[in-house]
Structure 1
Amino acid sequence: MVAAAHRRVADRAVAGRAAAEAGAHRRGYRGVKDARFKVSPLKLRVYLACPLRYRYQYIDRLPPRLRPHDTVGTAVHFVLQQFFRLPVEERTPECLLALFDQRWASLSPRYRRMPGAEELQQRARRQLEAFAAREDLRARPLLLEPYLEVALAPDVVLFGRPDRVDEEPDGSLHVIDYKTGEPPEEVDAAQLRLYAIMVQKGLGRPVSRASFWYLEGGQVWTAAVTAEALAQAEAEAVALAREMQGAASFPGRVGPHCARCPFLYACQHREEIAQRRQAERW
Protein backbone atom coordinates (compact mmCIF):
# COMPACT_ATOMS: atom_id res chain seq x y z
CA MET A 1 0.00 0.00 0.00
CA VAL A 2 2.79 2.39 0.91
CA ALA A 3 4.68 1.53 -2.26
CA ALA A 4 1.57 2.26 -4.32
CA ALA A 5 1.17 5.54 -2.47
CA HIS A 6 4.76 6.41 -3.31
CA ARG A 7 4.16 5.79 -7.01
CA ARG A 8 1.04 7.93 -7.06
CA VAL A 9 2.77 10.75 -5.20
CA ALA A 10 5.75 10.57 -7.53
CA ASP A 11 3.46 10.77 -10.55
CA ARG A 12 1.64 13.81 -9.25
CA ALA A 13 4.38 15.61 -7.35
CA VAL A 14 5.73 18.89 -8.52
CA ALA A 15 9.33 19.76 -7.87
CA GLY A 16 9.36 21.13 -4.36
CA ARG A 17 6.99 23.49 -2.64
CA ALA A 18 5.82 26.68 -4.41
CA ALA A 19 8.75 28.65 -5.83
CA ALA A 20 10.08 31.44 -3.63
CA GLU A 21 8.15 34.63 -4.08
CA ALA A 22 10.42 36.89 -6.03
CA GLY A 23 9.24 39.31 -8.71
CA ALA A 24 10.50 42.81 -9.27
CA HIS A 25 9.55 45.59 -6.87
CA ARG A 26 7.51 47.57 -9.38
CA ARG A 27 6.34 44.78 -11.65
CA GLY A 28 3.79 42.03 -11.43
CA TYR A 29 4.19 38.57 -9.97
CA ARG A 30 6.73 36.38 -11.77
CA GLY A 31 7.97 39.26 -13.86
CA VAL A 32 4.71 39.84 -15.77
CA LYS A 33 4.15 43.54 -16.37
CA ASP A 34 1.16 44.77 -14.40
CA ALA A 35 0.19 48.24 -13.25
CA ARG A 36 -1.10 46.75 -10.00
CA PHE A 37 1.24 46.12 -7.09
CA LYS A 38 1.13 42.49 -5.95
CA VAL A 39 1.81 41.45 -2.38
CA SER A 40 1.57 38.26 -0.36
CA PRO A 41 1.30 37.79 3.41
CA LEU A 42 5.00 36.83 3.41
CA LYS A 43 6.04 39.84 1.36
CA LEU A 44 4.21 42.19 3.74
CA ARG A 45 5.68 40.46 6.79
CA VAL A 46 9.22 40.65 5.42
CA TYR A 47 8.91 44.39 4.76
CA LEU A 48 7.53 45.07 8.23
CA ALA A 49 10.34 43.11 9.88
CA CYS A 50 13.16 44.60 7.80
CA PRO A 51 12.87 46.77 4.68
CA LEU A 52 16.49 45.94 3.82
CA ARG A 53 15.74 42.22 3.69
CA TYR A 54 12.75 43.08 1.52
CA ARG A 55 15.07 44.87 -0.90
CA TYR A 56 17.52 41.97 -0.98
CA GLN A 57 14.75 39.43 -1.53
CA TYR A 58 12.29 41.14 -3.86
CA ILE A 59 14.18 43.93 -5.62
CA ASP A 60 17.81 42.81 -5.83
CA ARG A 61 16.70 39.15 -5.94
CA LEU A 62 19.76 37.90 -4.14
CA PRO A 63 19.96 34.11 -3.81
CA PRO A 64 18.89 33.10 -0.29
CA ARG A 65 21.15 30.96 1.85
CA LEU A 66 18.59 28.74 3.48
CA ARG A 67 19.29 26.91 6.71
CA PRO A 68 18.55 23.20 7.22
CA HIS A 69 15.51 24.23 9.27
CA ASP A 70 13.99 25.99 6.25
CA THR A 71 14.39 22.96 4.00
CA VAL A 72 12.97 20.57 6.59
CA GLY A 73 9.93 22.81 7.03
CA THR A 74 9.37 22.86 3.28
CA ALA A 75 9.66 19.06 3.17
CA VAL A 76 7.05 18.62 5.91
CA HIS A 77 4.61 20.93 4.12
CA PHE A 78 5.16 19.04 0.87
CA VAL A 79 4.57 15.67 2.53
CA LEU A 80 1.33 16.79 4.21
CA GLN A 81 0.04 18.19 0.95
CA GLN A 82 0.75 14.97 -0.93
CA PHE A 83 -0.55 12.77 1.89
CA PHE A 84 -3.98 14.40 1.90
CA ARG A 85 -4.21 13.99 -1.87
CA LEU A 86 -4.12 10.21 -1.48
CA PRO A 87 -7.28 8.09 -1.31
CA VAL A 88 -8.59 7.98 2.26
CA GLU A 89 -8.04 4.24 2.63
CA GLU A 90 -4.31 4.64 1.96
CA ARG A 91 -3.70 7.36 4.55
CA THR A 92 -2.04 5.56 7.42
CA PRO A 93 0.59 6.77 9.90
CA GLU A 94 3.08 4.44 8.23
CA CYS A 95 2.34 5.96 4.84
CA LEU A 96 2.84 9.50 6.18
CA LEU A 97 6.25 8.63 7.60
CA ALA A 98 7.25 6.73 4.48
CA LEU A 99 6.42 9.76 2.36
CA PHE A 100 8.64 11.88 4.57
CA ASP A 101 11.49 9.38 4.38
CA GLN A 102 11.15 9.35 0.60
CA ARG A 103 11.19 13.12 0.47
CA TRP A 104 14.22 13.28 2.76
CA ALA A 105 16.10 10.79 0.61
CA SER A 106 15.47 13.01 -2.43
CA LEU A 107 17.43 15.90 -0.87
CA SER A 108 21.01 16.36 -1.94
CA PRO A 109 23.65 14.40 0.03
CA ARG A 110 25.42 17.70 0.68
CA TYR A 111 22.36 19.05 2.46
CA ARG A 112 21.79 15.87 4.46
CA ARG A 113 25.38 16.05 5.74
CA MET A 114 25.05 19.64 6.99
CA PRO A 115 25.51 20.14 10.75
CA GLY A 116 22.18 19.74 12.52
CA ALA A 117 20.37 18.22 9.53
CA GLU A 118 20.02 14.75 11.05
CA GLU A 119 18.62 16.16 14.28
CA LEU A 120 16.08 18.22 12.32
CA GLN A 121 15.13 15.15 10.31
CA GLN A 122 14.33 13.23 13.50
CA ARG A 123 12.42 16.19 14.91
CA ALA A 124 10.30 16.46 11.77
CA ARG A 125 9.61 12.73 11.89
CA ARG A 126 8.44 13.05 15.50
CA GLN A 127 6.19 15.95 14.50
CA LEU A 128 4.57 13.83 11.81
CA GLU A 129 4.19 10.85 14.17
CA ALA A 130 2.42 13.12 16.67
CA PHE A 131 0.29 14.63 13.90
CA ALA A 132 -0.81 11.16 12.79
CA ALA A 133 -1.76 10.21 16.35
CA ARG A 134 -3.58 13.48 17.02
CA GLU A 135 -5.33 14.49 13.80
CA ASP A 136 -7.95 12.93 11.56
CA LEU A 137 -6.01 11.32 8.72
CA ARG A 138 -9.28 10.62 6.90
CA ALA A 139 -10.17 14.31 6.67
CA ARG A 140 -11.15 15.57 3.23
CA PRO A 141 -9.69 19.05 2.77
CA LEU A 142 -11.55 21.14 0.24
CA LEU A 143 -8.30 22.60 -1.15
CA LEU A 144 -4.57 21.99 -0.66
CA GLU A 145 -2.18 24.86 -1.37
CA PRO A 146 -4.45 26.59 -3.90
CA TYR A 147 -2.96 29.60 -5.66
CA LEU A 148 -5.25 32.56 -5.00
CA GLU A 149 -5.06 36.13 -6.26
CA VAL A 150 -7.61 38.79 -5.28
CA ALA A 151 -7.87 42.56 -5.70
CA LEU A 152 -7.82 44.58 -2.47
CA ALA A 153 -7.93 47.90 -4.33
CA PRO A 154 -7.66 48.99 -7.98
CA ASP A 155 -3.89 49.22 -7.57
CA VAL A 156 -3.20 46.41 -5.04
CA VAL A 157 -3.51 42.64 -5.44
CA LEU A 158 -3.06 40.03 -2.70
CA PHE A 159 -1.77 36.59 -3.69
CA GLY A 160 -0.62 33.46 -1.95
CA ARG A 161 -1.05 29.76 -1.22
CA PRO A 162 -2.76 28.83 2.06
CA ASP A 163 -1.68 25.36 3.15
CA ARG A 164 -5.14 23.91 3.49
CA VAL A 165 -8.82 24.88 3.33
CA ASP A 166 -11.40 22.69 5.08
CA GLU A 167 -15.16 22.87 4.81
CA GLU A 168 -17.05 23.21 8.10
CA PRO A 169 -20.39 21.43 8.74
CA ASP A 170 -22.29 24.70 8.20
CA GLY A 171 -20.67 25.23 4.79
CA SER A 172 -18.25 27.92 5.94
CA LEU A 173 -14.51 27.50 5.45
CA HIS A 174 -11.58 26.92 7.80
CA VAL A 175 -8.17 28.15 6.61
CA ILE A 176 -5.22 26.21 8.07
CA ASP A 177 -1.54 27.13 8.02
CA TYR A 178 0.96 24.51 9.24
CA LYS A 179 3.89 25.66 11.36
CA THR A 180 6.91 23.44 12.06
CA GLY A 181 8.66 25.86 14.42
CA GLU A 182 7.95 26.70 18.04
CA PRO A 183 4.96 28.97 18.71
CA PRO A 184 6.16 32.58 19.06
CA GLU A 185 5.42 34.71 22.09
CA GLU A 186 3.15 36.85 19.91
CA VAL A 187 1.22 35.23 17.07
CA ASP A 188 0.88 37.12 13.78
CA ALA A 189 -2.91 37.26 13.44
CA ALA A 190 -2.57 39.55 10.42
CA GLN A 191 -1.13 36.70 8.34
CA LEU A 192 -4.11 34.47 9.08
CA ARG A 193 -6.59 37.22 8.34
CA LEU A 194 -4.95 37.91 4.99
CA TYR A 195 -5.28 34.23 4.12
CA ALA A 196 -8.93 34.40 5.18
CA ILE A 197 -9.46 37.43 2.91
CA MET A 198 -7.82 35.59 0.00
CA VAL A 199 -10.00 32.52 0.46
CA GLN A 200 -13.22 34.44 1.09
CA LYS A 201 -12.79 36.75 -1.89
CA GLY A 202 -11.25 34.10 -4.13
CA LEU A 203 -13.87 31.41 -3.54
CA GLY A 204 -16.84 33.62 -2.77
CA ARG A 205 -17.61 31.70 0.42
CA PRO A 206 -17.48 32.83 4.06
CA VAL A 207 -14.49 31.93 6.22
CA SER A 208 -15.42 31.23 9.84
CA ARG A 209 -12.00 30.16 11.14
CA ALA A 210 -8.33 30.73 10.32
CA SER A 211 -5.78 28.77 12.32
CA PHE A 212 -2.10 28.09 12.78
CA TRP A 213 -1.42 24.41 13.51
CA TYR A 214 1.89 24.13 15.36
CA LEU A 215 3.18 20.64 14.63
CA GLU A 216 5.90 20.70 17.29
CA GLY A 217 3.59 20.75 20.29
CA GLY A 218 0.17 20.28 18.76
CA GLN A 219 -1.08 23.74 19.67
CA VAL A 220 -3.76 25.37 17.54
CA TRP A 221 -4.07 29.15 17.44
CA THR A 222 -7.16 30.60 15.79
CA ALA A 223 -7.60 34.25 14.79
CA ALA A 224 -10.86 36.15 14.91
CA VAL A 225 -12.22 36.54 11.38
CA THR A 226 -15.09 38.92 11.98
CA ALA A 227 -16.08 41.33 9.23
CA GLU A 228 -14.52 44.17 11.23
CA ALA A 229 -11.22 42.32 11.75
CA LEU A 230 -10.95 41.41 8.07
CA ALA A 231 -11.80 44.94 6.94
CA GLN A 232 -9.08 46.36 9.19
CA ALA A 233 -6.53 43.79 7.96
CA GLU A 234 -7.40 44.61 4.36
CA ALA A 235 -7.06 48.37 4.89
CA GLU A 236 -3.70 47.93 6.64
CA ALA A 237 -2.43 45.68 3.84
CA VAL A 238 -3.40 48.21 1.16
CA ALA A 239 -1.73 51.06 3.05
CA LEU A 240 1.45 49.04 3.57
CA ALA A 241 1.53 47.89 -0.06
CA ARG A 242 1.37 51.50 -1.24
CA GLU A 243 4.16 52.44 1.16
CA MET A 244 6.29 49.59 -0.18
CA GLN A 245 5.65 50.55 -3.79
CA GLY A 246 6.62 54.16 -3.19
CA ALA A 247 9.61 53.49 -0.94
CA ALA A 248 12.83 55.23 -1.95
CA SER A 249 15.01 53.70 0.77
CA PHE A 250 15.06 50.40 2.62
CA PRO A 251 16.72 50.71 6.04
CA GLY A 252 17.86 47.66 7.95
CA ARG A 253 16.26 46.80 11.30
CA VAL A 254 18.68 44.85 13.45
CA GLY A 255 17.17 42.43 15.93
CA PRO A 256 16.79 38.75 16.85
CA HIS A 257 15.16 38.02 13.49
CA CYS A 258 18.54 38.70 11.84
CA ALA A 259 19.87 35.38 13.17
CA ARG A 260 17.46 33.55 10.84
CA CYS A 261 17.81 35.82 7.82
CA PRO A 262 18.75 34.01 4.58
CA PHE A 263 20.46 37.19 3.36
CA LEU A 264 22.71 37.73 6.36
CA TYR A 265 25.75 36.94 4.20
CA ALA A 266 25.09 40.10 2.15
CA CYS A 267 23.83 42.40 4.89
CA GLN A 268 25.62 45.69 5.40
CA HIS A 269 24.94 45.38 9.15
CA ARG A 270 26.74 42.04 9.61
CA GLU A 271 29.28 43.37 12.12
CA GLU A 272 26.63 45.04 14.27
CA ILE A 273 24.51 41.90 14.12
CA ALA A 274 27.43 39.71 15.25
CA GLN A 275 28.18 42.03 18.17
CA ARG A 276 24.57 42.22 19.31
CA ARG A 277 24.02 38.48 18.98
CA GLN A 278 26.93 37.88 21.32
CA ALA A 279 25.95 40.60 23.77
CA GLU A 280 22.20 39.92 23.78
CA ARG A 281 22.40 36.14 23.28
CA TRP A 282 20.05 35.73 20.35
Structure 2
Amino acid sequence: MKEQLGFDFGVEQPQRLTKVSPARLSTFEDCPRRYRLSYLQRPTPQRTGPWAHSTLGAVVHNALRALFDLPVAKRTAQRAMALVGEYWKDAGFEDAEQAARYRARAKGWVGEYVEDHDVTEDPIGLERWVSAPVSTTGGRPTMIIEGRADRIDQRGGELVIVDYKTGRRAPDEYEARASQALAMYAVASSRTLRLPCTKVELHHLPTGTIAAAEHTPDSLNRHLQRAEETAGDLRLATDTLDAGADGDTLFPARPDRRCSWCDFRPSCAEGQQAAPASQPWDLLAP
Protein backbone atom coordinates (compact mmCIF):
# COMPACT_ATOMS: atom_id res chain seq x y z
CA MET A 1 0.00 0.00 0.00
CA LYS A 2 1.52 3.30 -1.10
CA GLU A 3 1.24 6.26 1.19
CA GLN A 4 2.43 9.82 1.21
CA LEU A 5 2.34 12.81 3.51
CA GLY A 6 -0.01 15.71 3.03
CA PHE A 7 1.89 18.74 4.37
CA ASP A 8 0.21 21.32 6.59
CA PHE A 9 2.14 24.29 7.95
CA GLY A 10 -0.45 24.98 10.70
CA VAL A 11 -0.61 23.45 14.14
CA GLU A 12 -2.32 20.23 13.09
CA GLN A 13 -0.37 17.05 12.52
CA PRO A 14 0.35 16.09 8.90
CA GLN A 15 -2.36 13.84 7.50
CA ARG A 16 -1.31 10.66 5.77
CA LEU A 17 -3.04 10.02 2.45
CA THR A 18 -3.60 6.42 1.44
CA LYS A 19 -3.43 5.57 -2.24
CA VAL A 20 -6.21 3.19 -3.22
CA SER A 21 -7.27 1.60 -6.49
CA PRO A 22 -10.54 -0.18 -7.32
CA ALA A 23 -8.67 -3.49 -7.57
CA ARG A 24 -7.14 -3.17 -4.12
CA LEU A 25 -10.38 -2.07 -2.48
CA SER A 26 -12.48 -4.83 -4.05
CA THR A 27 -9.86 -7.45 -3.18
CA PHE A 28 -9.84 -6.37 0.47
CA GLU A 29 -13.64 -6.27 0.64
CA ASP A 30 -14.01 -9.70 -0.97
CA CYS A 31 -11.32 -11.43 1.07
CA PRO A 32 -8.76 -9.72 3.35
CA ARG A 33 -6.48 -12.75 3.17
CA ARG A 34 -6.36 -12.55 -0.59
CA TYR A 35 -5.38 -8.89 -0.24
CA ARG A 36 -2.49 -9.78 2.07
CA LEU A 37 -1.29 -12.57 -0.20
CA SER A 38 -1.57 -10.32 -3.28
CA TYR A 39 -0.06 -7.07 -2.06
CA LEU A 40 1.76 -7.53 1.24
CA GLN A 41 3.32 -10.97 1.63
CA ARG A 42 6.76 -11.41 0.12
CA PRO A 43 7.78 -13.60 -1.48
CA THR A 44 4.38 -13.96 -3.14
CA PRO A 45 2.83 -17.33 -2.23
CA GLN A 46 2.04 -20.02 -4.79
CA ARG A 47 -0.71 -19.11 -7.24
CA THR A 48 -2.82 -20.97 -9.74
CA GLY A 49 -1.94 -20.99 -13.41
CA PRO A 50 -3.50 -18.67 -16.01
CA TRP A 51 -7.27 -18.47 -16.47
CA ALA A 52 -8.74 -18.64 -19.95
CA HIS A 53 -11.33 -15.92 -19.31
CA SER A 54 -8.58 -13.55 -18.17
CA THR A 55 -6.55 -14.34 -21.28
CA LEU A 56 -9.60 -13.73 -23.46
CA GLY A 57 -10.38 -10.41 -21.78
CA ALA A 58 -6.80 -9.20 -22.08
CA VAL A 59 -6.68 -10.05 -25.79
CA VAL A 60 -9.90 -8.16 -26.54
CA HIS A 61 -8.76 -5.14 -24.49
CA ASN A 62 -5.38 -5.06 -26.23
CA ALA A 63 -6.92 -5.40 -29.68
CA LEU A 64 -9.34 -2.50 -29.12
CA ARG A 65 -6.64 -0.32 -27.61
CA ALA A 66 -4.41 -0.97 -30.60
CA LEU A 67 -7.29 -0.28 -32.98
CA PHE A 68 -7.85 3.21 -31.57
CA ASP A 69 -4.13 3.89 -31.84
CA LEU A 70 -4.44 3.52 -35.64
CA PRO A 71 -5.38 6.33 -38.04
CA VAL A 72 -9.16 6.58 -38.49
CA ALA A 73 -9.06 5.18 -42.03
CA LYS A 74 -7.51 1.94 -40.75
CA ARG A 75 -10.03 1.34 -37.96
CA THR A 76 -11.94 -1.32 -39.85
CA ALA A 77 -13.63 -4.49 -38.68
CA GLN A 78 -11.09 -6.54 -40.65
CA ARG A 79 -8.17 -4.82 -38.96
CA ALA A 80 -9.76 -5.26 -35.53
CA MET A 81 -10.15 -8.98 -36.17
CA ALA A 82 -6.55 -9.22 -37.32
CA LEU A 83 -5.42 -7.51 -34.11
CA VAL A 84 -7.13 -10.23 -32.08
CA GLY A 85 -5.00 -12.75 -33.92
CA GLU A 86 -1.84 -10.73 -33.29
CA TYR A 87 -2.47 -10.49 -29.55
CA TRP A 88 -3.88 -13.97 -29.08
CA LYS A 89 -2.52 -16.37 -26.45
CA ASP A 90 -3.67 -19.89 -25.60
CA ALA A 91 -2.95 -19.60 -21.85
CA GLY A 92 -5.58 -21.27 -19.66
CA PHE A 93 -7.64 -22.92 -22.38
CA GLU A 94 -8.46 -26.62 -22.23
CA ASP A 95 -6.78 -27.44 -25.51
CA ALA A 96 -5.87 -26.01 -28.90
CA GLU A 97 -9.37 -26.68 -30.24
CA GLN A 98 -11.07 -24.69 -27.48
CA ALA A 99 -8.53 -21.87 -27.86
CA ALA A 100 -9.16 -21.72 -31.61
CA ARG A 101 -12.92 -21.63 -31.05
CA TYR A 102 -12.68 -18.67 -28.68
CA ARG A 103 -10.16 -16.92 -30.89
CA ALA A 104 -12.74 -17.03 -33.67
CA ARG A 105 -15.44 -15.79 -31.31
CA ALA A 106 -13.27 -12.92 -30.10
CA LYS A 107 -12.60 -11.90 -33.70
CA GLY A 108 -16.33 -11.89 -34.32
CA TRP A 109 -16.99 -9.81 -31.21
CA VAL A 110 -14.54 -7.04 -32.06
CA GLY A 111 -15.50 -7.09 -35.73
CA GLU A 112 -19.16 -6.56 -34.87
CA TYR A 113 -18.22 -3.94 -32.31
CA VAL A 114 -16.42 -1.88 -34.93
CA GLU A 115 -19.27 -2.27 -37.41
CA ASP A 116 -21.94 -1.29 -34.87
CA HIS A 117 -20.18 1.68 -33.24
CA ASP A 118 -18.59 4.90 -34.38
CA VAL A 119 -14.85 4.42 -33.96
CA THR A 120 -13.83 7.54 -35.88
CA GLU A 121 -13.54 9.74 -32.78
CA ASP A 122 -10.22 9.65 -30.95
CA PRO A 123 -10.62 8.78 -27.26
CA ILE A 124 -9.05 11.22 -24.84
CA GLY A 125 -7.52 8.25 -23.04
CA LEU A 126 -6.73 4.59 -23.76
CA GLU A 127 -5.65 2.47 -20.81
CA ARG A 128 -5.22 5.88 -19.19
CA TRP A 129 -3.84 6.05 -15.66
CA VAL A 130 -5.75 8.64 -13.62
CA SER A 131 -5.11 9.75 -10.05
CA ALA A 132 -6.54 12.42 -7.77
CA PRO A 133 -6.66 13.37 -4.08
CA VAL A 134 -10.25 13.43 -2.85
CA SER A 135 -12.32 14.36 0.16
CA THR A 136 -15.85 13.18 0.87
CA THR A 137 -16.61 16.25 2.97
CA GLY A 138 -15.21 19.01 0.77
CA GLY A 139 -12.32 19.62 3.17
CA ARG A 140 -8.75 18.43 3.19
CA PRO A 141 -8.15 15.29 1.04
CA THR A 142 -8.36 12.01 2.92
CA MET A 143 -7.10 9.61 0.24
CA ILE A 144 -5.75 9.40 -3.29
CA ILE A 145 -7.81 7.36 -5.73
CA GLU A 146 -6.11 5.96 -8.80
CA GLY A 147 -6.52 3.39 -11.52
CA ARG A 148 -6.35 2.60 -15.21
CA ALA A 149 -9.48 3.23 -17.29
CA ASP A 150 -10.00 1.13 -20.43
CA ARG A 151 -11.18 4.13 -22.43
CA ILE A 152 -12.11 7.74 -21.76
CA ASP A 153 -14.22 9.46 -24.41
CA GLN A 154 -14.93 13.15 -24.73
CA ARG A 155 -18.50 13.78 -25.87
CA GLY A 156 -19.98 17.26 -26.01
CA GLY A 157 -17.52 18.77 -23.58
CA GLU A 158 -17.87 15.98 -21.02
CA LEU A 159 -15.95 12.80 -20.32
CA VAL A 160 -17.42 9.29 -20.50
CA ILE A 161 -15.78 6.26 -18.90
CA VAL A 162 -15.92 3.12 -21.07
CA ASP A 163 -15.12 -0.30 -19.64
CA TYR A 164 -14.98 -3.41 -21.86
CA LYS A 165 -16.47 -6.67 -20.62
CA THR A 166 -16.15 -10.21 -22.01
CA GLY A 167 -17.76 -12.21 -19.19
CA ARG A 168 -20.55 -14.75 -19.15
CA ARG A 169 -23.37 -12.34 -18.32
CA ALA A 170 -24.42 -9.11 -20.00
CA PRO A 171 -24.36 -6.14 -17.58
CA ASP A 172 -27.27 -3.78 -16.96
CA GLU A 173 -27.69 -0.17 -15.86
CA TYR A 174 -27.73 -1.16 -12.19
CA GLU A 175 -24.34 -2.85 -12.52
CA ALA A 176 -22.88 0.20 -14.24
CA ARG A 177 -24.23 2.51 -11.55
CA ALA A 178 -23.13 0.20 -8.72
CA SER A 179 -19.57 -0.16 -10.03
CA GLN A 180 -17.21 1.47 -7.57
CA ALA A 181 -14.40 1.21 -10.10
CA LEU A 182 -16.26 3.20 -12.75
CA ALA A 183 -17.26 5.84 -10.22
CA MET A 184 -13.67 6.23 -9.03
CA TYR A 185 -12.44 6.49 -12.62
CA ALA A 186 -15.05 9.18 -13.27
CA VAL A 187 -13.95 11.27 -10.30
CA ALA A 188 -10.23 10.82 -10.96
CA SER A 189 -10.62 11.51 -14.69
CA SER A 190 -12.57 14.70 -14.03
CA ARG A 191 -9.87 15.94 -11.64
CA THR A 192 -7.00 14.86 -13.90
CA LEU A 193 -8.38 16.09 -17.23
CA ARG A 194 -10.39 19.04 -15.83
CA LEU A 195 -13.65 18.20 -17.56
CA PRO A 196 -16.94 17.06 -16.02
CA CYS A 197 -17.47 13.29 -15.93
CA THR A 198 -20.70 11.72 -14.74
CA LYS A 199 -21.48 9.07 -17.37
CA VAL A 200 -20.08 5.54 -17.22
CA GLU A 201 -20.60 2.66 -19.64
CA LEU A 202 -20.02 -1.09 -19.65
CA HIS A 203 -19.53 -2.44 -23.19
CA HIS A 204 -20.18 -6.21 -23.28
CA LEU A 205 -18.53 -7.56 -26.41
CA PRO A 206 -20.17 -11.04 -26.53
CA THR A 207 -23.72 -9.63 -26.68
CA GLY A 208 -23.14 -6.08 -27.94
CA THR A 209 -24.84 -4.73 -24.80
CA ILE A 210 -23.99 -1.23 -23.59
CA ALA A 211 -25.04 -0.66 -19.99
CA ALA A 212 -24.87 3.08 -19.23
CA ALA A 213 -25.46 5.05 -16.06
CA GLU A 214 -25.45 8.77 -15.29
CA HIS A 215 -24.03 9.67 -11.89
CA THR A 216 -24.94 12.63 -9.72
CA PRO A 217 -22.55 14.35 -7.30
CA ASP A 218 -24.32 12.52 -4.48
CA SER A 219 -24.00 9.08 -6.06
CA LEU A 220 -20.31 9.65 -6.78
CA ASN A 221 -19.75 10.83 -3.23
CA ARG A 222 -21.45 7.71 -1.86
CA HIS A 223 -18.96 5.59 -3.78
CA LEU A 224 -16.11 7.69 -2.38
CA GLN A 225 -17.44 7.34 1.16
CA ARG A 226 -17.51 3.58 0.80
CA ALA A 227 -13.97 3.66 -0.60
CA GLU A 228 -12.85 5.85 2.30
CA GLU A 229 -14.30 3.43 4.86
CA THR A 230 -12.59 0.44 3.23
CA ALA A 231 -9.33 2.37 2.90
CA GLY A 232 -9.43 3.17 6.61
CA ASP A 233 -9.92 -0.49 7.53
CA LEU A 234 -7.20 -1.50 5.11
CA ARG A 235 -4.73 1.06 6.47
CA LEU A 236 -5.40 0.07 10.08
CA ALA A 237 -4.92 -3.62 9.33
CA THR A 238 -1.70 -2.96 7.41
CA ASP A 239 -0.24 -0.68 10.08
CA THR A 240 -1.08 -3.21 12.80
CA LEU A 241 0.53 -5.97 10.75
CA ASP A 242 3.66 -3.85 10.35
CA ALA A 243 3.74 -3.46 14.14
CA GLY A 244 4.04 -7.23 14.49
CA ALA A 245 0.47 -8.47 14.90
CA ASP A 246 -0.78 -11.77 13.48
CA GLY A 247 -1.56 -11.60 9.76
CA ASP A 248 -4.21 -14.32 9.78
CA THR A 249 -6.16 -12.44 12.45
CA LEU A 250 -5.89 -9.05 10.74
CA PHE A 251 -6.51 -10.41 7.25
CA PRO A 252 -8.87 -13.36 7.70
CA ALA A 253 -10.03 -15.60 4.91
CA ARG A 254 -13.60 -15.01 3.76
CA PRO A 255 -14.52 -18.34 2.16
CA ASP A 256 -17.29 -18.47 -0.44
CA ARG A 257 -17.88 -19.84 -3.92
CA ARG A 258 -15.22 -17.49 -5.35
CA CYS A 259 -12.63 -19.68 -3.67
CA SER A 260 -13.13 -22.05 -6.59
CA TRP A 261 -11.26 -19.70 -8.91
CA CYS A 262 -9.11 -17.70 -6.50
CA ASP A 263 -5.53 -17.20 -7.72
CA PHE A 264 -4.23 -18.05 -4.25
CA ARG A 265 -6.22 -21.22 -3.76
CA PRO A 266 -3.01 -23.36 -3.60
CA SER A 267 -1.88 -21.27 -0.60
CA CYS A 268 -5.15 -21.14 1.34
CA ALA A 269 -6.47 -24.20 3.18
CA GLU A 270 -9.77 -22.50 4.04
CA GLY A 271 -10.38 -21.74 0.39
CA GLN A 272 -9.65 -25.30 -0.65
CA GLN A 273 -12.22 -26.55 1.87
CA ALA A 274 -14.85 -23.96 0.95
CA ALA A 275 -15.46 -24.93 -2.67
CA PRO A 276 -14.19 -27.35 -5.33
CA ALA A 277 -11.53 -26.10 -7.70
CA SER A 278 -12.68 -24.67 -11.01
CA GLN A 279 -11.05 -25.62 -14.26
CA PRO A 280 -9.11 -22.75 -15.84
CA TRP A 281 -11.71 -22.46 -18.63
CA ASP A 282 -14.90 -22.69 -16.52
CA LEU A 283 -15.55 -18.92 -16.45
CA LEU A 284 -15.48 -18.41 -20.20
CA ALA A 285 -18.53 -16.79 -21.76
CA PRO A 286 -20.69 -19.57 -23.26
Superposition TM-score, scaled by structure 1 size: 0.78
User: In the alignment, is the contact (CA less than 8 A) between 1:192 and 1:223 conserved in 2?
Assistant: no
- Helix, strand or coil: the match of 1:234? helix
Residue ranges of structure 1 left out of the alignment (5+ in a row) = 1-24, 29-34
- Helix, strand or coil: the match of 1:84? helix
Separation in structure 1 between the aligned mates of residue 116 and residue 263 of structure 2, nearest angstrom: 33
Distance apart, 1:245 and its partner CA? 1.0
- Helix, strand or coil: the match of 2:120? coil
Q: What is the match of residue 118 of structure 2? A: 136
User: In the alignment, is the contact (CA less than 8 A) between 2:159 and 2:199 conserved in 1?
Assistant: yes
The alignment yields a C-alpha RMSD, in angstroms, of 2.7
- Helix, strand or coil: the match of 2:69? coil
Residues 201 and 47 (structure 1), Cα distance of their counterparts in 2 relative to 1, 3 Å cut = same
Distance apart, 1:164 and its partner CA? 0.7
- Helix, strand or coil: the match of 2:232? helix
Is 1:245 aligned with 2:231? no
Find the partner of 1:173 among 153, 159, 162: 159
Is 1:46 aligned with 2:27? yes
- Helix, strand or coil: the match of 1:147? strand
> For 1:1-282, what aligned pairs fall within 5 Å after superposition?
25=1, 36-60=17-41, 61-62=44-45, 64=47, 65-104=49-88, 107=89, 111=91, 114-115=94-95, 116-153=98-135, 154-169=141-156, 171-182=157-168, 183=170, 187=175, 188-247=178-237, 249-274=250-275
Separation in structure 1 between the aligned mates of residue 224 and residue 271 of structure 2, nearest angstrom: 35
Distance apart, 1:270 and its partner CA? 3.6
1:271 alignment partner AA: Q
1:159 alignment partner AA: E
User: In the alignment, is the contact (CA less than 8 A) between 1:164 and 1:175 conserved in 2?
Assistant: yes
Residue ranges of structure 2 left out of the alignment (5+ in a row) = 5-15, 136-140, 241-249
Q: Which has more strand, going by share of residues?
A: 2
Separation in structure 2 between the aligned mates of residue 214 and residue 184 of structure 1, nearest angstrom: 7
**Runs of at least 4 residues off by over 4 Å:** none
Question: Identity rate of aligned residues, in percent?
Answer: 28
Separation in structure 1 between the aligned mates of residue 222 and residue 213 of structure 2, nearest angstrom: 13
* Deviation digits for residues 70-120 of structure 1 (CA, Å, limit 9, x no counterpart): 12211111111111011001111111111111111xx4x7x3875343343
Distance apart, 1:241 and its partner CA? 0.6
1:75 alignment partner AA: V
1:267 alignment partner AA: C
Separation in structure 2 between the aligned mates of residue 62 and residue 207 of structure 1, nearest angstrom: 39
